[in-house]
Amino acid sequence: MQALLGLSRKIDAFNTLIGRWLSWMIVVAVIISAGNAVIRKVFDMSSNSFLEAQWVLFSVVFLLCSPWTLLKNEHIRIDIINHSLPLKVRGWIDMIGHVFFLMPFAIILLWWSIPFFLVSYHQNEQSFSAGGLPQWPAKSLIMIACVLLIVQGISEIIKRAAMMAGVIPDSNVLQGSAHAAELEAERLVMHIAGEKQPRAE
């Protein structure tokens, strides 16, 4: 188990490094968007490559940072029922979700994304818009994201198994924005339920 946990830590460190660096692409996309707007208004000129670069950069962040989001448990799960369950039950829910849903989905998507990318690459597929960017680099992002997500899924399964065995602390004691969102949803439901209760005369 310790060897597997060592592998898990390396995977986590790798995807954390990728996530932290690539998240800055949002800033680059904002700069390109603002610059494109200024050039278009001031000089009455623009380029489709600027627009497509914004889309690609957003795709980079959305796809390649998704394993980091999974690692940090920052995907929003508004699930009051799950939040109220015992930690052991929640552990089994996470394990089943990773093994039977996350991993098959990522593997199937990877299987289909490889020929999707290769066809585009061999054809040197270009944008349909004049002055646009090549399409195959953007299509490669799906394939790369699936690989990273599968690797992170392996890490999460290892950690979940270790947590259920009592080797490491349970991460279901949530922190961060995901937990805050769950608490806020629970507060709203309790507030609505309280308003619907009949008032004593």
List per-residue pLDDT tens for the chain, 201 residues long. 789 899 999 999 999 999 999 999 999 999 999 998 888 888 888 788 988 999 999 999 999 999 999 998 887 666 667 667 787 888 888 899 999 999 999 999 999 999 999 999 999 999 888 888 999 999 999 999 999 999 999 999 999 998 888 888 876 664 545 555 556 666 666 777 766 555 555
Instruction: Classify residue 179: in a domain, yes or no.
Output: yes
Alpha-carbon span 170 to 163, nearest angstrom: 5
For position 146, what pLDDT does the model report?
Answer: 97
65 vs 22: CA distance, rounded Å: 7
Q: What is the pLDDT of residue 123?
A: 95
> Residue 182: its pLDDT value, please?
59
Question: What domain count does the chain have?
Answer: 1
The stretches of the chain forming alpha helices (DSSP H) are 2-22, 25-43, 48-64, 66-71, 80-84, 87-97, 103-122, 136-164, 177-196
Decide: pTM greater than 0.75: yes
Q: Does 47 fall in a domain?
A: yes
Look at residue 201 and tell me if it is in a domain.
Answer: no
pLDDT the model gives residue 165: 84
For 89, the domain range is: 2-196
Q: Are 131 and 49 in contact (CB under 8 A)?
A: yes
Contacting residues for 120 by C-beta, under 8 A, at least 6 apart: 135, 136, 139
Is residue 74 one of the residues assigned to a domain? Answer: yes
Give the angle 181-153-69 at the CA atoms, nearest 5°.
35
Phi-psi region of 46 (alpha: psi -120 to 50; beta: other; left: phi over 0): beta
- Asked whether residue 167 is assigned to any structural domain, the reply reads yes
| Alpha-carbon span 199 to 69, nearest angstrom | 44
The alpha carbon torsion through 72, 62, 113, 99 (nearest 10 deg) reads 20
